Structure 1
């Protein structure tokens, strides 16, 4: 800490020859906001024990209502002992010791309002060492300035900016983040709305020119376009909304710009993954007929498996609800992975017909490309959620995805609002305990938990869609009870026969919904390497 040089305890340190400079007082009197000069007070050990106010300008007001010269002679710790004072005091001592200026926000500092009532307020404080004293200036942060700062933070975090164009007086106002989005130096100022097409990628100028025309004509309009940024492009969406005066004329035009770059890049990465997967499938089946390729895109063949050779056996059945040629949104997938695990999945896109079929194809296609990454099934569901969020008309879907390790006979699975798998073991049928997971497409931050089940040779796991257990006029619990009763009759030795047994017990020729049922039988560890 700073020490005195012979200063008696409890007194201010002697000022340099000439006393307080009159010019400093003159400067403080014209500074906007409060400004004070503090003299250090020393104890018997020559340590700073307090600060005394030597001078305060007319803008300075203390918590008791005293202003300017009335405050002179008062001390910081003795006369203003608020909760935040000790920490602030230590910071001021450090400024006097080091000469390094201080810039700090004081939150909830006690003061007096315009009615003379004690209250708390926030201040922006600056402190600097001047001729063995401290010069302190401060400005009160009113609610509007605090809100403006918070708004700027929100704009930065959410990647949006706002602008206002006033055609009558040629006034333009942009938020700070608007400059960042359009890659424009704030020192150059904002640009006129009519000049906006010149700042976008050439291929988007016609669309932006039409947007500007609509905005200047008093129409609400929005467009997505690209601008150049650091050697690449940034994807933006601009919404223009007119503000009319009392006579119906255009007083101003408000604009809200949103940065969509991360979303578009995610879509492009997913598209690239899907294209690689599609190319691999075409190479494997190029000699087959186009009609067979279409059939496999809708109902992929399940490779032949043996519980003795592979450690598992899979059978699957899909029953469409509508007339031939109009498939629904139920889907399944079975994929042997490079690490000898097998991925099994069953899902359901809401609805029927071509729209549901298109959604199903996108989900299955995405999963086929993402599965080879080796990531957990809960992470795969998170990626599929991003895919569903991009589908039109607020599409939602359900799915259950599992990784079976034939060597350890563990089943790692996750679900997204999907019916829970059934485990058949030793003549008993039970549902697995579901990990947390909600519908795909319900939210952009879903969170899918992972569950691991230890299986044993002879176990049979049934994955299915809701069409198997839901029937008009019957509640869901009735359907589940019927499924468990039928599953108890499954032997587990032949998944194909077990599937047919369950379907015979639960389905009818005129089922109102698609039905997909996948049976996974677990055998001994595989003999192949």
Structure 2
């Protein structure tokens, strides 16, 4: 196979040239893929415009677009882009006569079409007034249009400086909407049309370039809130105003006259994600004298992200430096950085210095391109030193070995000693690794190869070395040399050893934690009553306990169902805060204390008061929720009280609903509190469900939604308490992050019981 050599520059290290060639090929491939993607998106849009404007069929539009591209000498995607960019906005079906126009103001330079759009947006939103501001070069907001405001009020809000604290500027600075159901909740803040009061929605008009404007909706009275569908509607209406009035007023990428300050640089605005973090910078304007290293025109740069246009510069920290400049206002420099410059079909390695300064709402980036080969060589030397890389080349024809300075440093040898020959290399290798190195040397005669071995330096120290090499052949395919690099991995190896030791220690700790959790789990299982269904004085009762999906999440969920000496049935469910042995022992203490107190004949409210007192005297530090009920079989009456716990769910006549909440705070929260009692008379065929929050709480799911799902499941789970319990547990997802307890009681049908 002929030798593959990269483009050479006089006196330039071949490795830099190879790096430059690789980067160049990657950039060309990115450009090709981007062109294919953009073309695939633009062409159908352009065909749609022809169908709408000229009445063509889809096939005729495609043929016409191809024909026009052939006549003008441009590609179909390029022609599609021009057609879309010059397309005139379609007329809207708004009234045009002055006597039919609504009462709104129109700013100079805005046509009746824009004013009618604002009025239509106001009507759709059901608002009393709508105002639209455009972001100015200095960050201020200039009123671009309004409806529902008198001229005096509009004049007050015509110009909003950057430092003015108001809702529109807050929305622009924070790049997020502000939803204000009641203006009374913003005391001291200046408000648009403050005489109207009511609700406000302030929505920024965003583009990929950042913030283009802000739209504020004003209602004459407070609103109950802004549900998701309402927010989506207002956001869409704001985007419509911004697109049709603000963005359409100037060509894409244009800036005010101050862009002359860019001279030989480019201007980029930040792109942010939903949380407001800068993820990229988009090129918004290119100076007339700017020299692009890739030889691209301003049209090819505007609107594109820096990470796509200059991936190598971003790899060297361009994005991070730009964020620092945007945040602090201080200028930053970067470089020199090796890049590939293109002039026509020629690609040449070069050095690029970058200077970043704050400009308007973005950054100015200036690039200085140099072709100093000495600086390129020096940079390569520095990179090799930082990466602890050393190059080598062995001539098969002469037996001569060539090393770089860094290779001598890796081997711990002075350059005056000369490089270690190909055959002598094994004398510096750990004996156990000799077979690996010999196999590596043999493989290099025919193919690329890599290995890792231990190097013994003259001072007796060991180094972990990664070796990578490749054969070099002549044009006739004859092997003439082998070459490659050595890299010192000792630091990474030592870190790996330390991590392994740490992992072992963590494994021991995890084993101890698992032991504690096992004890806690066994303690729970030993103390909680059986889950078998029982008949208590005519009341069918079933209990369930399900542990958390994660073993280390053993919690303090507990329940009790027992017949007291006076014939009443004690029904209790609770949840002690925390996990592990402490939570389990706290659960045992509360359960046993309540069982002992219940034989006194006191009501559930009094029982919870006594139980709360024990948390401050006997079981200090224990907190938790509890629900205590006493069922009287004679008249089917349930008297119950709660301490911060979720209320029971009653299923009656096919309808499930939660019982009203009596007052009662968390156990252990405050001493001397009283717990209100509630009385429920149950009917035959009634089902009552008591549960802990682990049954319904799910990450990312609203509590109300979980309760609704539990209610629906309870209604369709039949009449058998055991079957109901199993179905309710099955309805709840099994990967819960907390324990779950469940008590299902049912008053049987007298006819069925008989």
TM-score grouping bracket, smaller chain normalisation? 0.3 to 0.5
Identify, as 1 or 2, the structure richer in helix.
2
Higher strand fraction (1 or 2): 1
Q: Which has the higher contact order (CA 8 A, sep 6+)?
A: 1
